[in-house]
Amino acid sequence: MKPIYFRLGLLALLSLSLAACKEDAPEPDAQSAPEVQRAPPPTVSVAVLGATQWPSDEIVAQVGEIETAADPFAENNMLVLDMSGSMEARECSGDDHSSRAEAAKTAVLTWLSANPGDNVGLVTFSADGTKLDFPLGQGSAHAEAIVNRIQSLQPKGGTPLLLAMNMGYEELAKQAVRQGGTGSYRLIVITDGEASKGHDPRDLVSRIASNPADMVELHTIGFCISGKHSLKDTDRVFYTDANSPADLKAGLDATQGETASFDAGNTTFEELQQ
């Protein structure tokens, strides 16, 4: 049996309706969280929806006909974590962290503990280069491996945002094939700087935004960034400015409306499954 994928009709309309419902959810207290600049829901006709496709035929072919997800309604969160050389800086890291890198690690581990049932994947760029560290998955062994990887990361090098985001985006598209077009798909980027030359992600952002069948939500947390950024596009991206560890945590929480309470220095993997 061929995997189900989308030439969106009623499914797309349902997805847009659910997205509209999410927009009606109560916002966090402005006193305790940075403002998330939300991309507005798209306005498209049924005719346009019927003529669009996502994932692409190429992605469908890569997944094959036998891969189906155990949970077709799973939440999918692909993290892209910036561990470039600038993350060694102390600015914005707070009193309890030696660098922005350490503050980001703590925030991500805290967020992971609040979302133990979701599929999570990880892409990083660091002293080890740009890597798809883990595809989407869940369970205690997967969580333990992600935690160990995050804790071991050392900041170094440039900011290849486009390469890293493309890696994460492709994993989300493959998972959409496995889930038959249901569930949710988030590409969550944490970065402290502009992309390196040749790695401007705006073409990817435009491609996602221009296809009304594409279910990927783009979330970016700009850590200690002042002024403009290539991902600070409030027509297409959910963008949060973070200037402290608390802002980082709140920005991650805002991707799903979750709140987290977790000491990353005392991680137990049983906690990640509760």
Total Cβ atoms within 10 A of residue 252:
27
What share of the chain has pLDDT > 90, as a percent? 62
Q: Tell me what the mean pLDDT of segment 215-230 comes to.
A: 93
| Assigned token pair, 142 | 């997967």
CA dist 88 → 109, 149, 150, 221, 229 (Å):
18, 17, 15, 17, 20
Lowest mean pLDDT of 30-44, 104-118, 191-205, 257-271, name the range.
257-271
Q: What pLDDT is recorded for position 114?
A: 84
Q: What pLDDT is recorded for position 132?
A: 98
Rounded to an integer, what distance in angstroms lies between the CA atom of residue 120 and that of residue 110?
14
Rounded to an integer, what distance in angstroms lies between the CA atom of residue 149 and that of residue 252?
19
In 3D space, the residue among 238, 262, 259 whose CA is nearest the CA of residue 250 turns out to be 259
Q: pLDDT (tens digit, 9 = 90+) per residue, 238-249?
A: 999 999 999 999
Evaluate whether 132 touches 123 at the Cβ level (below 8 Å): yes
Evaluate whether 65 touches 76 at the Cβ level (below 8 Å): no
Lowest mean pLDDT of 13-22, 32-41, 168-177, name the range.
13-22
CATH code of the region 10-273 = 3.40.50.410
Query: ω into residue 55 within 30 of 0, thus cis?
Result: yes
* Beta-strand runs (E) in 19-144: 36-37, 75-82, 119-126, 129-137
Q: Tell me what the mean pLDDT of segment 159-185 comes to.
A: 96
- Compare 41 and 112 and report the one with higher pLDDT: 112
Q: What pLDDT is recorded for position 23?
A: 44
Evaluate whether 193 touches 164 at the Cβ level (below 8 Å): no
Residue 98, φ and ψ in degrees, nearest 5: -85, -15
Q: Tell me what the mean pLDDT of segment 64-91 comes to.
A: 92
DSSP letter (8 states) at residue 25: S
Q: Tell me what the mean pLDDT of segment 197-224 comes to.
A: 95
